[in-house]
Amino acid sequence: MLLDGTTALAADDLTVELGGLPVLRGVSLSIRAGEAVALMGGNGSGKSTLVRTVLGLLPHQHGGVRLFGQPLRSFRDWARIGYVPQRSMALLSGSKVKEVVAAGRLARRRPFRPLNRSDREAIHDAIAQVGLSEHLNTDIAALSGGQQQRVLVARALAGKPELLVLDEPTSGVDLQHQRVLAEVLAELISAGTAVLVVLHDVGALGDLIDRAVVLSDGRVAHDGSLGDLGQHRRRFGGHEHLDHGRDTADDHGENADSWLGGAVEP
């Protein structure tokens, strides 16, 4: 695949098996600079597996991944990548907010070198960007779920990434905090950052999304605008507003609602 300089991420015909079972079956995906792509689909559709594979956290059996034109295997420029994993605080509790965020500068630091001035500025800026400046020295375990999520976003932003990958950043976060996240992301996207965000439902991030890629059973079932996704769903008898976890699959739902796990509000 030929890539120009503005393609941040390109996954081509990716096949991933976990424990001998196929999870991704020939998935292709590309994201350009300044583009915001939502990766959606029901539980077990392969969203997180795709995200982890394109970042090199899981091996793939077939296909290829390129980050900024470089094959994943030889990609070393990790400072250009920001990753916000699913929120898991078990091992991070006991750390101050600024310690957690400082880890986001590691791709830019050499071993045995202390934080320099630009590192410290980037850490403070990232924390300010997510509105947590007054919690620099707070134990992350003492923050609310929404605030903890923002700390993880700040950690990814501290490295000033050009591609930001977020894995379900809105899960368990109330609408008010989703809006704060949406503001932060909108600013980044307008500055040219490519954003890949795994979402269970679009929530407050809907306005930002340029393109929605829906996975179903390890395959891309839809790759287009959120609006098209809504039309597609209506054509196949989907509902405008669906409750979380409700099984809405009907005779036609195979093609629409089942992709979405019954949880999209376009």
Determine, following the binding rule CB under 8 A, whether residue 20 of this chain makes contact with other proteins: no
- Using CA atoms, how far apart are residues 95 and 101, in angstroms rounded to an integer? 10
CB atoms within 10 A of CB 124: 16
Indicate the residue among 107 and 249 with the shorter CB distance to other proteins: 107
Distance of CA 83 to the CA centre of its chain: 7
Contact window for other proteins (CB under 8 A) among 33-41, 74-82, 191-199, 250-258: 74-82
Collect all residues with Cβ–Cβ distance below 8 Å to 261 and sequence separation of at least 6. 41, 42, 43, 45, 200
For the bound state, the minimum distance from the C-beta of residue 244 to other proteins, rounded and expressed in Å, comes to: 17
For the bound state, the minimum distance from the C-beta of residue 259 to other proteins, rounded and expressed in Å, comes to: 26
What residues between 142 and 201 interact with other proteins by CB under 8 A? Answer: 142, 144-147, 155, 159, 174, 176-177
The site string for other proteins over 206-245 (x = CB under 8 A, - otherwise) reads ----------------------------------------
Chain contacts with other proteins (rule: CB under 8 A): 52, 55-57, 76, 78-79, 81, 83, 85, 88, 90-92, 94-96, 99-100, 102-104, 106-107, 109, 111-112, 115, 134-135, 137-139, 142, 144-147, 155, 159, 174, 176-177
